[in-house]
Amino acid sequence: METRDWPLEKLRELQEQQLRRLLTHAFEVSPWYREKLRDVPDPARFRIDDLRHLPILEKSELQQHLDQIAGSARSAPDARENYSSGSTGTPVRLYQSQEYRDWYAADDSRVHRGLAGTVRDAAVNVLWFDAFALRRDGLPATVQRLRAFRPALVIGYVSTLIEVGRALDRKLDGLAAVITAAETLMPRERGMIGESFGAPVFDRYATREVGTIAHECEAHDGLHLVMENNIVEIVGPDGQPRSEPGEEGEVVITSLRNLATPLVRYRLSDMACLGRDGCSCGRQSVRLASVLGRMSDLIVSPRGVLLHALFFMRLFDKAPVHRFRVDQETRTRLRIRIVPAAEYTDAVRLRITSGILVHGDPTFEVAWEVVDDIPATSSGKFRFTVSHVGKGESSPPAES
């Protein structure tokens, strides 16, 4: 039986074993954690519920104190440097072990089999789309490459797959599944990708720092946490974990497989919503109902209403718009840029503006701008919402 099919109790036992190993190792190799764990009497007896008493590791701390955090483990023969995408600022540098890389590769090859294992051999027949290099004038060559490669599995950013899908003249032969990553997948985009590529679409939540965090199964009802690799906490403003289905909070990760840079309660600056217990697929792992986006994408209205990217994505669902982006320029001013479809009319603008004012905050000033294109960030990801409030900015800065 694969670990993904284990009962929840057995998965938690495995997590606790790996957590104790991690803390013992961190105490031995890391000056940073020797200080942070000084009040932990015996890491070998530590329990998952005890994590809430440890401090949260911020990205800024990892950036500034990497050598202290990694300690002597960074000199291990199998340690390799890696970087986060830096989609919202400076990329995060860290070291990753061979064990981490092996588990990440194994997870890539198995988690999205769906439909009775139809992607079982995808690891040797996978095509990744390079979001950095893809250009619209190069789409015909990309389609030609797809046809020649005959992939069993295609993996890419949502926005990249949408562009490629529009260029496909017919479905791909032999394709078992499409995996989307890095950007929020909405029902309309799922339908477009599935129809154009001719295969079921599975969403995945992953980062460069900790690998795959959660993924969809064939039920497409939330995302199963990869409990063998990470302990995931959804925490409130007080840093304490939430536990009830439907509760939202920030994602905090303890990475269990990377001993080259111990990450204990590492804040990803993402927001997610806890899912319900049980899944029709039969797996017992904990689920996320959804990933809501990055904290930097969260718009706080003049009256204090928190608006996720999903709020705006739902307003734009089925609207005749190829692409949109909402920038919060000041506390009270939103600028909405759109790439319109042929069916777009001013009535669409009025309807969506009304939705923002009625369901968001009536004190917003909403400005619209029709453009030919809205580029992705330099990391290759597309951001639907960006708030510039609280950063000393009154107008959007250059993309990072």
End-of-domain residue from the set 143, 166, 199: 199
Residues 307, 268 share a domain: no
Residues 122, 193 share a domain: yes
Is residue 104 in a domain? no
Residues 349, 316 share a domain: yes
Cα distance between residue 399 and residue 40, in whole Å? 42
Where in the sequence is the domain holding 57, given as residue range(s)? 3-91+222-273
Rounded-to-5 percentages of helix, strand, coil across the chain = 35, 25, 40
- pLDDT tens digit string along 281-305? 999 999 999 888 776 677 888 988 8
Helix axes 187-197, 158-167, angle to 10 degrees: 40
pTM of the entire predicted model: 0.77
Residues 226, 195 share a domain: no
CATH of the domain at 315: 3.30.300.30
- Identify the bridge partners of residue 100 per DSSP, sorted by sequence position: none
Q: Tokens 């389609």 belong to which residue?
A: 143
Is residue 71 in a domain? yes
Residues 381, 303 share a domain: yes
90 pLDDT tier (thresholds 50, 70, 90):
low
Residue from 80, 86, 87 nearest 104 by CA: 80
* Cα dihedral across residues 178, 183, 184, 187: positive or negative: negative
Is residue 357 in a domain? yes
Q: How many domains does the chain have?
A: 3
Is residue 103 in a domain? no
Q: Please compute, for residue 205, the number of CA atoms within 13 A of its CA located in the half-sphere on the CB side.
A: 28
- pLDDT tens digit string along 205-245? 998 899 999 999 999 999 999 999 999 999 998 999 999 99
Is residue 176 in a domain? yes
Residues 226, 192 share a domain: no
